């Protein structure tokens, strides 16, 4: 069915349907689409059991190539300054961003960005860059990929995570599929909870698994400061993302300020440059972030990005910029369709 849908989308794209739709829905002002990514994988690793949702080098290269051919590609920093200084965007624009600072930003994204000569912005949780912590979702994945359901029952694992009300996963499924389903459920369940609750839940699962299974952590490294400095010297922008990837939805103002200011201060000291951008970790709870705008202004941020879907223009709140993702495809027609629809239609 998905094949038929994609063929239909391609036929509509090449048939000019989206061009007509665009002329009918063309915005009265130039807009900014901010595309965001997290991790990338090499082509040979794409589609692996534990890499679902991660675009490959080939996908990212196709995305950047298509974007550059059809839009002005600028950094969010440049777009924010243009709006601040000129009151508008001069051209239809796209910005490329990455959250969290995975090592693949250096090994995969950076060569592609240089190849196509386009800018990008990477938002760093500095405690991870400094190897002071491992993000909970990485530890969670390592734990669940090591579970043996014959030794550690599915329900016991869910109880440890506080997920006792979820439906039972079909025990007839292959164990790897059971693990994938459990991981997806656990990520969705935990990401909205306070950080302390999340840490306790993941530690409880770790304690349970260590009694029954051999837990072998997998490598998932962040960028190093040496790599970050090299990328910055080549024109890549960096922004703050708190120190510990704190869920600001649940944090009080004092802790939020320490995390926001601390991340900005360390990046500025390491790179000897002003950091003007911030990305809210998790990024979906826009109403909860209103309280943080005075902090962002106090520490001289020009803008902040969310993870909420939408596009931006000269009337957008620069401290609540919307972002979107692209389909994991190399098809120009599917990429073009997605970009045009995202650019024309403002969901708000």
Within a domain: 9: no
Within a domain: 167: yes
Within a domain: 323: yes
Same domain, 56 and 103: yes
- Per-residue confidence (pLDDT) for residue 154, from 0 to 100: 84
Within a domain: 191: yes
Longest dimension (CA), the chain: 64
Within a domain: 38: yes
The alpha carbon of 247 is separated from its chain's Cα centroid by a whole number of angstroms, namely 14
Boundary of a domain, candidates 164, 191, 212: 212
Print pLDDT tens along the chain (348 aa): 578 888 888 887 788 888 888 777 777 789 999 999 999 999 999 888 788 889 999 999 999 999 999 999 999 999 999 999 999 999 999 999 999 999 999 999 999 999 999 999 999 999 999 999 999 999 999 999 888 888 878 888 888 899 877 788 888 888 889 899 999 999 999 999 999 999 999 999 998 887 655 555 565 789 999 999 999 999 999 999 999 999 999 999 999 999 999 999 999 999 999 999 999 999 999 999 999 999 999 999 999 999 999 999 999 999 999 999 999 999 999 999 999 989 887 766
Check if the beta carbon of residue 280 is closer than 8 Å to that of residue 83.
no
Q: Which residues of 262-297 are buried (b: 16+ CB within 10 A; e: fewer)?
A: bbbebbeebbeeebbbbbbbbbebeeebeebeebbe
Within a domain: 10: no
Same domain, 246 and 329: yes
Same domain, 232 and 337: yes
Tally the domains of the chain. Answer: 2
Same domain, 118 and 163: no
Same domain, 160 and 199: yes
Q: Reduce the DSSP state of residue 233 to 3 states and report it.
A: helix
Give the predicted TM-score (pTM) of the model.
Answer: 0.94
Same domain, 176 and 64: no
- Per-residue confidence (pLDDT) for residue 100, from 0 to 100: 96
Boundary of a domain, candidates 154, 184, 212: 212
- Per-residue confidence (pLDDT) for residue 215, from 0 to 100: 57
Same domain, 120 and 166: no
Domain of 256?
Answer: 28-129+225-344
- Per-residue confidence (pLDDT) for residue 214, from 0 to 100: 56
Same domain, 180 and 328: no
Residues 6 or more apart whose CB falls under 8 angstroms from that of 223 comprise 101, 102, 103, 105, 106, 122, 124, 129
Same domain, 117 and 203: no
- Per-residue confidence (pLDDT) for residue 217, from 0 to 100: 57
């Amino acid at each position: 069915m998905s094949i038929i849908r994609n063929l239909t989308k391609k036929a509509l794209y090449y048939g000019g349907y989206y061009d007509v739709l665009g002329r009918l829905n063309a915005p009265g002002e130039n807009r900014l689409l901010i595309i965001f990514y997290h991790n990338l994988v090499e082509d040979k690793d794409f589609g692996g059991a534990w890499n679902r949702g991660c675009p490959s080098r080939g996908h990212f290269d196709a995305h950047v190539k298509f974007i550059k051919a059809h839009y002005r590609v600028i950094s969010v920093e440049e777009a924010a300054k243009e709006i601040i200084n000129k009151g508008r965007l001069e051209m239809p624009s796209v910005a490329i961003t990455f959250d969290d600072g995975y090592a693949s930003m250096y090994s995969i994204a950076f060569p592609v960005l240089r190849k196509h000569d386009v800018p990008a912005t990477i938002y760093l949780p500095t405690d991870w860059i400094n190897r002071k912590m491992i993000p909970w979702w990485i530890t969670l994945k390592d734990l669940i990929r090591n579970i043996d359901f014959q030794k550690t029952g599915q329900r016991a694992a869910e109880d440890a995570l506080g997920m006792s009300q979820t439906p039972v996963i079909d025990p007839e499924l292959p164990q790897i599929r059971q693990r994938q389903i459990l991981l997806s459920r656990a990520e969705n369940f935990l990401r909205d909870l306070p950080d302390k609750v999340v840490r306790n839940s993941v530690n409880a699962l770790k304690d349970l698994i260590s009694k029954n299974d051999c837990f072998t952590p997998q490598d998932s490294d962040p960028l190093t400061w040496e790599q970050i400095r090299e990328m910055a010297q080549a024109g890549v922008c960096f922004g703050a993302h708190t120190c510990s990837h704190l869920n600001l939805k649940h944090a009080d103002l004092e802790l939020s300020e320490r995390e926001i200011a601390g991340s900005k201060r360390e990046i500025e000291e390491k790179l000897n440059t002003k950091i003007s951008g911030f990305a809210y970790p998790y990024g979906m709870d826009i109403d909860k972030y209103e309280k943080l705008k005075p902090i962002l202004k106090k520490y001289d941020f020009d803008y902040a990005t969310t993870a909420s879907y939408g596009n931006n223009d000269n009337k957008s709140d620069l401290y609540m910029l919307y972002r979107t993702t692209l389909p994991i495809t190399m098809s120009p027609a599917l990429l073009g369709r997605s970009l045009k629809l995202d650019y024309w239609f403002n969901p708000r």
